Structure 1
C-alpha cells in the first residue's frame, strides 16, 4: 500500500505534472501541499516513505516477533490513535497526549533498529553522522533518528520549512547531499524494501537457530 501511494507521486514529478504530484502527496502527508514546488513535493514524499516504512512495516514486524499478533494489534492501535489525535490542538490535547506518549514508548526500540537498518543499507558513514547530529533537533524522538539516518543513507536533503494546519513550522534540515526529486522517492522506497528483506532474513536465521 505504501508503494502504491508513493509511486504515483514520483511518476507525476517525472512527467512534469506538478498539480497531480501535489494531489498525490496530499494523500501521504498532513502538511499543506497546494503550493509546494517539485522539490518540496519530493521531499515530503521521501520523508513519508522513510517514516511510514518505520511505523507501518518495521515496527509491526518487531512487535510481531516480541508479542505475536496481540503485539501487532496493540502497536497499530497506538500508532493509529497517535495519527488521529496526536497533534497538539485544543480539541484533542488530552487524548492526543496519551496516544502520542504510548506510541513513543512502543516505537522507541523499533525506530532505532530501523535507523540502523537504513544506515547499513545506504551511505553508512553519512547516515550515522546525520543520525547523531540532526536527530536530537527533531520534534519527534523516534521520527528524528529514522528520517535523519534515512536521509543520510540516501545522500539527500530533507526537512526544512513546512505548513501544518495553517501554521509555518521551521523544521531542522535532515540528511546531506542533493535536493530531493523523483529519484529520491524511488530510492527511499527501494531502501524500505531492502530493509524488509534484511529483517526477514535475520528473523528466519534466528528462527532456524532456535528451532
Structure 2
C-alpha cells in the first residue's frame, strides 16, 4: 500500500474513532498536558522569569518532549505508526464533542429555557453569559462552533495530513497552550507572546482552508464577501476569516459587543442576515460535519490519484 493510501486510511480511522467514541471522559491526555504545562510555567517563571524568551523556553519544554516521544513511539516497530498515528489523531479531534456541547445549548434554547442555555454556553465560551438574551446565547454558541471547527477539527486534520501523528500532536498542544497562555493580560502579555504567535503561524493556512470549506458548503458568494470585508477588522488573523466566512455561509449576523473578563469589548460585525437562534447553532454543527466529509472525500481522491499515477512511490 502506498504512503498516500496509508495516510488517508489513518485519517478515516481517526475520524471514525472520534465519531464513535467522542471525547475521552476520564484521563484525557490534554487534561494531563494542561497540568504538565502549568508545572512547566511555574518552574520557568521561578527560575528564568516571565519575559518573552522565558515564555518561548516554557513552550518548548512543554511541547517538544511529547512530539519527540511520538516520533520515538512510531519508530519502535515497523507497524507501530498505525496505532500511534490513529490514536494521536483521535485524541486531537473534537468533532463529536463540539457537536454535543453545541446541542446542549441549542436544545434548552429552542425549548425556551434561557437559564439552562446560558449555563451551557458558558461552558464553551470565555465571555460573560449571565445576562445574555436568547440571540446573545445563540450568537456565542454559533461563534464557538465556527471557530472551534477550525481548532478542533480542520486544523487537526490539516496537520495530520502534513505531518502524521507528530504533526497533529504539535498542532493540538500548541493550540492548547495558546488557550492557556495566549491572553493579553498582565500575567501573560509577555510570557504568553510565544504561545500566541506560534499558534497563529501553525493556524494560518488551516484557518483559511476552514474558511474556504465553510464558503463552499454554504452561501458561497456571501461567505467570500464577508471574509474579504469583515475579517481584516478582527484582531485575530485566523479567527477573523473563519468566523466571517462561517457567518456569511450560514446567513446570520454574528459579532458585536460582549463582556470578557469583566470588561465590555465592542467587536466588529460578522456575516449578514437575521440574529441567530437555536437553528443557527444546529446549522453551524451541520456545516462542520459536512466540511469533515468534504475533507475526507478530497483526501481520499488525492490519495487515489497519487497511488494510481505512481507519484506516491516517487
**Could you tell me the TM-score, scaled by structure 1's length?**
0.99
> 1:54 pairs with 123, 131, 150, which one?
150
Provide the residue aligned with 2:111 in structure 1: 15
Provide the residue aligned with 1:115 in structure 2: 211
Which runs of 5 or more residues in structure 2 are unaligned?
1-96, 308-314
Question: Following TM superposition, by how much is the alpha carbon of 1:139 offset from its aligned partner in structure 2, in angstroms?
Answer: 1.1
Question: What secondary structure, in the 3-state scheme, does the structure 2 residue paired with 1:174 have?
Answer: strand
Q: 2:255 aligned with 1:145, yes or no? A: no
Question: Following TM superposition, by how much is the alpha carbon of 1:95 offset from its aligned partner in structure 2, in angstroms?
Answer: 2.6
Q: CA deviation digits over 1:108-134, x for unaligned, max 9?
A: 000001101100000000000000000
Distance 2:152 2:112 in 1: 30
Provide the residue aligned with 2:11 in structure 1: none
The correspondence of residues 45-194 of structure 1 with structure 2, limited to 5 A, is: 45-194=141-290
Distance 2:149 2:191 in 1: 25
Q: Which piece of structure 1 moves more, 90-99 or 195-204?
A: 90-99
Question: What secondary structure, in the 3-state scheme, does the structure 2 residue paired with 1:11 have?
Answer: helix
Distance 1:67 1:29 in 2: 30
Q: 2:133 aligned with 1:37, yes or no? A: yes
Q: Which runs of 4+ in 1 moved over 2 A?
A: none
Q: How many pairs align?
A: 211
Question: Following TM superposition, by how much is the alpha carbon of 1:9 offset from its aligned partner in structure 2, in angstroms?
Answer: 0.4
**Could you tell me the TM-score, scaled by structure 2's length?**
0.67
